[in-house]
Amino acid sequence: MKADWNTVLATAETLKEYRAGVETRDKDLGAFLHFSPSVSTEAGNPDSASAVSRLPIAIKDNLAVTDFPLTCGSRLLEHFTSPYDATAIERLKAAGASIVGKTAMDEFGMGSATDTSALSETKNPWDTSRTAGGSSGGSAAAVAAGMVPVSLGSDTGGSVRQPASFCGVYGLKPTYGAVSRFGLVAYASSLDTVGVIADTPDRLEAVFSVIAGEDAKDQTSIAAFSPGQPPVAPADLSSLRVGILRADEGDEPGVREAMTRVEDVFRTAGTEAETVTLPFLEYASAVYYTIATAEAGANLARFDGIRYGERPLYAENPDELVRLSRSAGLGDEVKLRILLGTYVLRSGFHDQYYGRAQRLRARIRQAMQDLFSRFDLLVSPVFPTLAFRLGRDGLTPYQRKQADRYTTVANLAGVPALAVPTGVHDGLPAGVQITGRMGGDYALIAVAKALHQALPPAAPATYPRIWS
Ligand code: GLN
């Protein structure tokens, strides 16, 4: 008999067992940067309590949790502790959930494999020679290895969906603004979202409905959409019009197989499905990296060793203090992106790079709007590969950035997108991405529930689910 997730934090004994279980697993995986669960004082009455009451939840280390570290995976913030809660965290706590720890990530969210982290390189629970994905790799691995049922991540260009897909779990990037960004350390503010990773669509929905909604502390936040709106009954795939963006010839066989599996589910359900092409898809990565680095250059200016973080013991003057702090505190990928962001914005060339990227972003946004006037749903790959190898045998930095094209489209357009596991190929999980129209987050989750029934996900053999 498996123990219930709502009971692991109920008593000192169950907590002890839980802590030991997680610590053993995380020795191999490196999903957590900080793990400090405590007994939950919630009443824990399963009938009256909220769906997330007593639920242990892991949080990506770029979301502020009072008195927990807030490192963003950076050496510069290694000893920084948050004095306050992000709005999403405040809402989870108010609903009775328990924050048990902070998870590993690419430094400031910049990466696709959690290997730009200065603090922990997360391994994939399906094969520890491979990446868990990134940048929310720790959050995805923690769910996949059964250490928590749900975690929060952030998604600026795919950082929730890609690791969720690499680890065989569900990952939602909500509509831009649907979840407050207050307390999320900014990477690229016009693209950043707080997302949810979960073992089932039901739990994903329970947590999303708690954290979603307008927030006076984030002017870009928007009102929550009521559950089931626009209405899509979970079992009713037949009423949907679905656009299918086929995998590229060059995408891995496991990715193409995942697409076929999902297409078959729709075909069996009698769904109206049609192959589509996305104009501008080939430019998505270039547009994304131009805009994201431009915004990152501005957002990361605050990490100067004066206002935040580690600083050298001695410097001749303030300029040198900043230079020494940033040289020692920031990793190569972050430095590269600040340089790139400065380059695309430099005087005289602004229009050639940044301006052009903004115009293309508007086109991509329009193309998505047109698409959703004809279809309710877009089905596409998440990433051209399954979880790739860590180290030299993996993808090159350039290949990784090119590979972000499928996921970055949703961030550029502001629409919601969800990674759904479909099965296993050669021992690795293979997901697909479903994208919906602006504000259609609950409709997407409803589709994920139907797909969950048709294609129930497996767990990695080495890390069986002790709690469920
Ligand atoms: N891989 C993308 C990047 O490196 C996405 C990151 C993210 O969504 N935070 O920027």
Q: 152-195, pLDDT tens digit by residue? A: 999 999 999 999 999 999 999 999 999 999 999 999 999 999 99
**Residues 6 or more apart whose Cβ sits within 8 Å of residue 360:** 280, 283, 287
Tens digit of each residue's pLDDT (9 = 90 or more) over 218-238: 999 998 665 545 445 455 899
**d(CA 6, ligand 1 centre) in Å:** 33
What's the pLDDT score for residue 50? 81
Pull the structure tokens for residue 371.
């698409």
Clarify whether 209 is annotated catalytic.
no
Q: Is the CB of 133 under 6 A from ligand 1?
A: no
* Structure confidence by residue, pLDDT tens digits, 260-294: 999 999 999 999 999 999 989 999 999 999 999 99
Whether this prediction's pTM lies above 0.85 is answered by: yes
pLDDT at 45: 53
Looking at residue 463, its pLDDT comes to 95
Can 60 be counted among the known catalytic residues? Answer: yes
Over range 409-432, report the average pLDDT.
Answer: 98
**What values do phi and psi take at 172, rounded to 5?**
-105, 125
Mean pLDDT of 202-209: 95
pLDDT at 3: 79
* Helix, strand, or coil (residue 124): strand
Mean pLDDT within 67-95: 97
Atom of ligand 1 nearest to the CA of 401: 1
Instruction: Say what the pLDDT of residue 48 is.
Output: 47
Which residues have a Cβ under 8 Å from the Cβ of 422 and sit 6 or more positions away? 258, 261, 262, 430, 431, 432, 451, 455
Alpha-carbon span 217 to 24, nearest angstrom: 39
Q: How far apart, in whole angstroms, are the C-alpha atoms of residue 390 and residue 133?
A: 10
pLDDT above 90 for 309:
no
Q: 165 CB under 6 A from ligand 1?
A: no
Catalytic residue status for 159 = yes
Longest CA span, the chain: 72
